[in-house]
């Protein structure tokens, strides 16, 4: 049964996360409940995921080819997880599920499995995981327009210019910088008209909204467990098998090989079929089981309460941030565009890194500062906002977020604007930290 916790002042019930009662020390010597507003980087572990992993660990053993009962149990758990992932993304019966480390690993695997001379089209504000794996003369990077509607004709124009042959469109579901949703279904229709396949980077979308391969009409979906409340090192590439089946594995070793023969001057290798073809080495059965448990939690719980909880907090957050003097919210498209619970912003006259450090040390709030592994997107939006800075602040909501967290952030930012940090800070290795920071670390952290 799914463990749940009522979230204060939203009125909605969502799956419970580990660490919801975590208290952290402040530079004042006090302690306060941790306000985790950095879900977009890595989400906390679901209680159900923790319990599922603990349940598996006594049975943990090698996956595939083991005769022992524990190996057979681990193998069944690993293979059953593929069915759970298929249900989670509404996959076609013919789609394969390849387990990877994360979204980055999944996209690099797909990039190395493309047929020769595949033309790749993507927008230039993608996360680096989706921006960088595609190399060579057949890659078209389309400048992201100022409106979501304009993305459709921009893709149409780019595909018209592509050479004949296989084509792949790369698109994100939700921006990791602004949270704004991309018109995936409409972009998929354009791809279809031009005989192109499309891969959906669902790393930021899947933890917040349902993903349906068939409804969106995409060919591949990639996602990460650590974004999806399953921080045990597993991700997945889900989609059509033919390109993956035709490609040599980019990671070779045990499991990827069906047969190896010594021909004297060279080794003859017959690769396994997908998905094992691209899962060389000892599989991460605990991570895969955790990912499946997270997906199953969302399937069982449903999305209505999750979405309503987040929309309530997001509206509260954006309304509160609008009251902070000198704060500028970043947006790819427009302020009213639909988005998940991610907000990036700058504050006039305040260094983003210093603000993030003060929020942590003085208020017990975790946010992200930087360019969020989407340098082109972040710096372009900073320029559009009239900022000369190269870094922004990002607050991101999730299942562990509460109204008190949001209100504490808004109040802290207003105080920082009015009075500045209360503690003294200096830079160490390029990061702002409190001078003579005496906050105790937990005992399991060395030194």
For the record, the structure tokens of 296 come out as: 């199953």
Pairwise CA distance, residues 117 & 114, whole Å: 8
The CB-side HSE value for 364 (13 A sphere, CA atoms) comes to 18
Task: Please indicate whether residue 295 is annotated as part of the active site.
Answer: no
Please name every residue paired with 235 in a beta bridge, in sequence order, or none if there are none: 100, 224
Query: Which residue among the candidates 23, 162, 295, 373 is catalytic per the annotation?
Result: 373
* Greatest Cα pair distance in the chain: 76
Whether 140 contacts 158, CB under 8 Å? yes
Mapped to the 3 state alphabet, what secondary structure does the chain carry? CCCEEECCCCCCEEECECCCCCEEECCCCCEEECEECECCCCCCCEHHHHHHHHHHHHHCCCCCCCCCHHHHHHHHHHHHHHHHHHHHHCCCCCCEEEEECCHHHHHHHHHCCCCCCCEEEEECCCCHHHHCCCCCCCEEEECCCCCHHHHHHHHHHHHHCCCCCCEEEEEECECCCCCEECCHHHHHHHHHHCCCEEEEECCCCCCCCCCCHHHHCCCEEEEECCCCCCCCCCEEEEECCHHHHHCCCCCCCCCCEEEEEECCCCEEEEECCCCHHHCCCCCCHHHHHHHHHHHHHHHHHCCHHHHHHHHHHHHHHHHHHCCCCCEEECCCCCCCCCECCEEEEEECCCCHHHHHHHHHHHHCEECEEECCCCHHHHHHHHHHCCCCCCCEEEEECCCCCCHHHHHHHHHHHHHHHHHCCCCCEEEECCEEEECCCCCCCCCCCCC
d(CA 6, CA 304): 14
130, 373 contact by CB (below 8 A): no
Q: How far apart are CA 277 and CA 244, in angstroms?
A: 8
Per the CB < 8 A criterion, the answer to whether 341 and 208 are in contact is yes
Catalytic residues: 373
């Amino acid at each position: 049964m799914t463990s749940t916790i009522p979230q204060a002042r939203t009125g909605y019930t969502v799956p419970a996360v580990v660490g919801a009662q975590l208290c952290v020390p402040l530079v004042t010597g006090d302690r306060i409940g941790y306000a985790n507003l950095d879900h977009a980087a890595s989400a906390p572990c679901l209680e159900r995921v923790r319990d599922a992993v603990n349940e598996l660990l006594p049975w943990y053993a090698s996956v595939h080819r083991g005769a022992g009962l524990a190996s057979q149990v681990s193998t069944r758990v690993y293979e059953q997880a593929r069915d759970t992932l298929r249900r989670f993304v509404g996959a076609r019966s013919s789609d394969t599920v390849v387990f990877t480390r994360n979204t980055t690993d999944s996209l690099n695997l797909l990039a190395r499995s493309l047929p020769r001379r595949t033309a790749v089209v993507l927008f230039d504000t993608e996360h680096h995981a989706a921006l960088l794996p595609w190399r060579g003369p057949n890659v078209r990077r389309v400048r992201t327009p100022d409106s979501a509607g304009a993305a459709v004709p921009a893709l149409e124009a780019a595909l018209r210019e592509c050479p004949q042959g296989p084509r792949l469109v790369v698109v994100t579901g939700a921006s990791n910088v602004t949270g704004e949703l991309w018109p995936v279904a409409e972009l998929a229709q354009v791809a279809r008209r031009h005989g192109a396949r499309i891969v959906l980077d669902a790393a930021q979308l899947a933890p917040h909204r349902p993903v349906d391969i068939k409804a969106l009409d995409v060919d591949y979906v990639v996602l990460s467990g650590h974004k999806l409340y399953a921080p045990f090192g597993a991700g997945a590439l889900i989609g059509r098998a033919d390109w993956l089946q035709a490609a040599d594995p980019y990671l070779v070793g045990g499991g990827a090989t069906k047969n190896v023969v010594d021909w004297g001057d060279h080794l003859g290798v017959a690769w396994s079929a997908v998905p094992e073809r691209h899962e060389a080495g000892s599989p991460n059965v605990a991570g895969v089981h955790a990912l499946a448990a997270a997906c199953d939690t969302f399937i069982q719980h449903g999305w209505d309460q999750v979405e309503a909880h987040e929309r309530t907090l997001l509206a509260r957050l954006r309304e509160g941030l609008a009251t902070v003097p000198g704060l500028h919210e970043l947006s790819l498209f427009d302020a009213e565009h639909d988005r998940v619970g991610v907000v990036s912003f700058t504050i006039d006259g305040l260094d983003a890194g210093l603000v993030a450090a003060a929020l942590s040390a003085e208020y017990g709030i975790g946010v992200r500062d930087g360019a969020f592994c989407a340098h082109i997107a972040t710096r372009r939006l900073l320029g559009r906002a009239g900022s000369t800075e190269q870094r922004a602040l990002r607050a991101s909501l999730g299942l562990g977020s509460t109204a008190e967290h949001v209100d504490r952030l808004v109040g802290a930012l207003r105080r920082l604007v009015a009075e500045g940090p209360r503690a003294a800070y200096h830079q160490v290795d390029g990061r702002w930290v409190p001078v003579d920071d005496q906050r105790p670390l937990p005992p399991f952290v060395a030194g």
